[in-house]
Structure 1
Amino acid sequence: MAMRKPAFDTSVIAPHKAFLDDLRERGLLHLTGGFADGSGGAYVLRDVADMDAARAIVATDPLAVHGCSDLTVHEWNTR
């Protein structure tokens, strides 16, 4: 989950989308989308070995690299 910080820099949106496109091409992205209120968004990874691997991927997201958003990783159990 990515929640925008008050000083969010919109110039990071294009690199973030490119990051998501790369994940999708590598088969690691299941779905993604922004929140309707503009406060941030979320994406769901797939075929990731474990939480450490997921955190390592998220740490390379331009939103995290540039400190524009607070990113958190949650394990999601689906049925």
Structure 2
Amino acid sequence: MPWFVKIEKGIVDKSTFDQFVPAHQAYVKRLIAEGREAKTGYWGEFGGGMLLFKAANLEEAKAIVVQDPLIQNGCVDYQLHEWCIVVE
């Protein structure tokens, strides 16, 4: 399966964002349990973060991303890209 990356930028205040972090973490754990090898984290130097995961194709990746509680609750703007690995 190809890799996809959701690059996001926070658009709400920290207290609003933090309300949805536990649900986001549960969402990522579910992706891991599904075998999508998901990884998530945030940028150390400025607001925003990234979610890396596997999906069958771009359409499936889009369907997965819109289930993220951070997106469903309007906490982030994001871009979704297929990540083509050249060296492993």
Q: TM-score, normalised by structure 2?
A: 0.79
RMSD between aligned residues? 1.5
Counterpart residue number, 1:43: 51
Mark the runs of 5 or more structure 1 residues left unpaired by the alignment.
Answer: none
Between structures 1 and 2, the one with greater strand share: 2
Identical-pair percentage:
28
Distance 2:31 2:80 in 1: 16
- How many residues of Structure 1 are paired with residues of Structure 2 in the alignment? 78
Aligned 8 A contact 2:28 2:38 in 1:
no
Q: TM-score, normalised by structure 1?
A: 0.87
Mark the runs of 5 or more structure 2 residues left unpaired by the alignment.
Answer: 1-6
Deviations 1:34-72 (A, max 9, x none): 1102511111111x1110110110000001100011122
- The answer to which structure, 1 or 2, has the higher relative contact order (CA under 8 A, 6+ apart) is 2
- Larger CA Rg, structure 1 vs 2: 2
Determine if the alignment matches structure 1 residue 65 to structure 2 residue 76: no
